């Protein structure tokens, strides 16, 4: 893992603690590896592996109803799977905090990733999710703090989108 | 069509009978008829009704069950709703919450949209899928005699458990909970606030 990924993962992990987020639901992505390893190593954080990302939206609602707090993490393609589910936080005015590692940016080497990658922000915004885009590693923690404060303070959906400029680009060796 | 014929269970009676044994259980209803059934059986702040998010009743119940391990959580949903969220059976099997139960009201139809045939009409077996996902117990009941086991299975057996009840395809009297999602969620949380 490169130094910047270690750094933002450490900061986000600390913010989970600060915001009493004790469940992390995910369909993993390479960019989430550091954060998920920190979560799995901590007895106070439950990592729930999902079969599809939208389950995390329902799981988050149920967790909130039970007075808990959840973060759902996914790759950008998973944001597309969440669209209909995002009616739940919108209609119930409950928190939904998402961390999305992006594919499909300008340096993407797999063109099949581009349509959903380009659609993430407009699609999430259409479903009333406030989006916070981090293009540099040192922005991630600041934006995560803002998103978590908005989500849990106002009872709404918020997503931190971490760009490929932070994560690096997946290469296909041929 | 439902192969249980005239003996098929009445959904409203079944849900009312099951809920009579709920005790302190928290109940999440999937969208459509199961939510109306839950409301018809008696509204309570321990009830949460989904009005959207098809496929998400079980994940919502899982989140609640993990957050409140001291309370039994029952999800009441339909066969189409459960089928859309069938992957969540695997998630539940892995997390293995001992306090989570799912009751699937299976009329083998998309009753809310015009009674089009559903996948369970062709033999898809949700109880077998739950067992394969690692549920502690999964049963299918087809008549009133078999349905007698439901309170025991849903509220006493260590979870996760799933029960499929083969119900008749019926048109029932309207029974709608509030459509104000914020009100439903706030009521549910406030009721739980002092309960731990």
Which band of pLDDT confidence, cut at 50, 70 and 90, is reported for residue B1? very low
Rounded Cα–Cα distance for residues B37 and A53 (Å): 29
B63 chain-A contacts, CB cut-off 8 A: 23, 58-66, 68, 70
Average pLDDT over residues A115-140: 97
Rounded Cα–Cα distance for residues A49 and A52 (Å): 9
Cβ pair B77, B27 in contact under 8 A = no
Which band of pLDDT confidence, cut at 50, 70 and 90, is reported for residue B98? very high
Distance of CA A116 to the CA centre of its chain: 15
| Contact (CB<8Å) A62/B53 | no
pTM for this prediction: 0.96
| Contact (CB<8Å) A91/B181 | yes
Cβ pair B193, B183 in contact under 8 A = no
Rounded Cα–Cα distance for residues B130 and A12 (Å): 35
Q: Which CATH number fits domain A3-110+139-167: 3.40.50.970, 3.40.140.10, 3.40.50.720, 1.10.15.40?
A: 3.40.50.970
Which band of pLDDT confidence, cut at 50, 70 and 90, is reported for residue A171? confident
Confidence (pLDDT) at B41: 98
> What number is the ipTM of this complex?
0.95
**Any idea what the Cα angle at residue A164 is, between residues A159 and A169, rounded to 5°?**
140
A92 chain-B contacts, CB cut-off 8 A: 181-182, 184-185
pLDDT tens, A23-47? 999 999 999 999 999 999 999 999 9
* Helix (H) or strand (E) run with residue B164 in it: strand B161-166
Rounded Cα–Cα distance for residues B164 and A8 (Å): 46
Nearest chain B Cα distance for residue A50, angstroms: 6
- Mean residue pLDDT of chain A comes to 95
Confidence (pLDDT) at A168: 84
Confidence (pLDDT) at A172: 78
Confidence (pLDDT) at A170: 79
Residues within 8 A of B (CB atoms), A 13-42 only: 23
Which band of pLDDT confidence, cut at 50, 70 and 90, is reported for residue B94? very high
**Any idea what the Cα angle at residue B97 is, between residues B91 and B101, rounded to 5°?**
90
Residues 6 or more apart in contact with residue B70 via CB below 8 angstroms: B99, B196
* Helix (H) or strand (E) run with residue B18 in it: helix B11-19
């Amino acid at each position: 893992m490169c130094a910047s990924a270690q750094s933002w993962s450490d900061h986000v992990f600390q913010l989970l603690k600060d915001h009493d987020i004790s469940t992390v639901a995910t369909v993993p992505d390479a960019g989430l590896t550091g954060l998920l390893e920190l979560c799995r190593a901590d007895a106070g954080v439950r990592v729930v592996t999902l079969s599809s990302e939208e389950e995390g939206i329902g799981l988050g609602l149920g967790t909130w109803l039970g007075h808990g707090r959840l973060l759902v993490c996914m790759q950008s393609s998973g944001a597309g799977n969440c669209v209909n589910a995002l009616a739940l936080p919108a209609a119930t005015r409950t928190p939904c905090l998402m961390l999305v590692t992006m594919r499909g940016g300008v340096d993407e080497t797999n063109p099949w990733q581009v349509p959903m990658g380009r659609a993430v922000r407009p699609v999430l915004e259409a479903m009333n999710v406030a989006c916070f885009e981090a293009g540099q590693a040192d922005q991630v923690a600041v934006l995560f703090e803002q998103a978590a404060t908005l989500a849990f303070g106002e009872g709404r959906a918020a997503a931190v989108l971490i760009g490929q400029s932070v994560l690096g680009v997946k290469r296909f060796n041929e | 069509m439902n192969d249980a014929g005239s003996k098929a269970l009445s959904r409203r009676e079944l849900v009312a009978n099951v809920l009579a044994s709920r005790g302190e259980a928290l109940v999440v209803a999937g969208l459509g008829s199961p939510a109306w059934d839950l409301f018809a059986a008696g509204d309570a702040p321990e009830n949460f009704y989904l009005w959207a998010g098809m496929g998400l009743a079980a994940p919502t119940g899982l989140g609640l069950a993990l957050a409140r391990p001291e309370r039994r959580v029952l999800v009441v949903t339909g066969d189409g709703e459960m089928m859309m969220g069938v992957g969540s059976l695997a998630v539940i099997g892995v997390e293995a919450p001992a306090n989570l139960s799912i009751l699937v009201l299976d009329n083998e139809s998309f009753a809310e949209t015009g009674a089009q045939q559903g996948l369970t009409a062709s033999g898809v077996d949700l109880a077998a899928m739950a067992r394969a996902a690692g549920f502690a117990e999964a049963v299918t009941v087809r008549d009133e005699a078999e349905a007698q086991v439901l309170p025991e299975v849903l509220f006493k057996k260590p979870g996760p458990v799933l029960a499929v009840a083969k119900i008749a395809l019926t048109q029932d009297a309207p029974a709608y909970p509030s459509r104000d999602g914020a009100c439903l969620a706030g009521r549910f949380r406030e009721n739980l606030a002092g309960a731990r």
